[in-house]
Amino acid sequence: MSAPIQTSATHLPGQLVEVSQALALAELALPSITRPNNIVITHDTENQTMTVTATLPMVPSIGINGVSYVASDYLST
């Protein structure tokens, strides 16, 4: 199971950046033959923007409040 991280950002957009970077680094730590490419981060320095594309496996669950989705831990080795 991949370990949770403690973010230092004081706002949600900053936390998104930190979590995205941690996921990308965790993917890079996996063997190249089985390494997923589920997190793609691109930077546009001219416009000072960052795009994060995440494709995460998930498990749907039907409960009393309807359908909810939980991300699966695809980073387990």
Q: Is 17 in contact with 9 (CB distance < 8 Å)?
A: yes
Domain count, the chain: 1
Position 2 in a domain: no
Q: Is 30 in contact with 74 (CB distance < 8 Å)?
A: no
- Domain holding 29, by residue range, is 12-71
Position 3 in a domain: no
| pTM, entire model | 0.84
Q: pLDDT at position 3, please?
A: 84
SS (H, E, C) the chain: CCCCCCCCCCCHHHHHHHHHHHHHHHHHCCCCCCCCCCEEEEEECCCCEEEEEECCCEEEEEECCEEEEEECCCCCC
Q: pLDDT at position 35, please?
A: 93
pLDDT higher than threshold 60 for residue 77:
no
At 31-65, the pLDDT tens digits run 999 999 999 999 999 999 999 999 999 999 998 99
Region 14-33: what's the mean pLDDT?
Answer: 96
Position 17 in a domain: yes
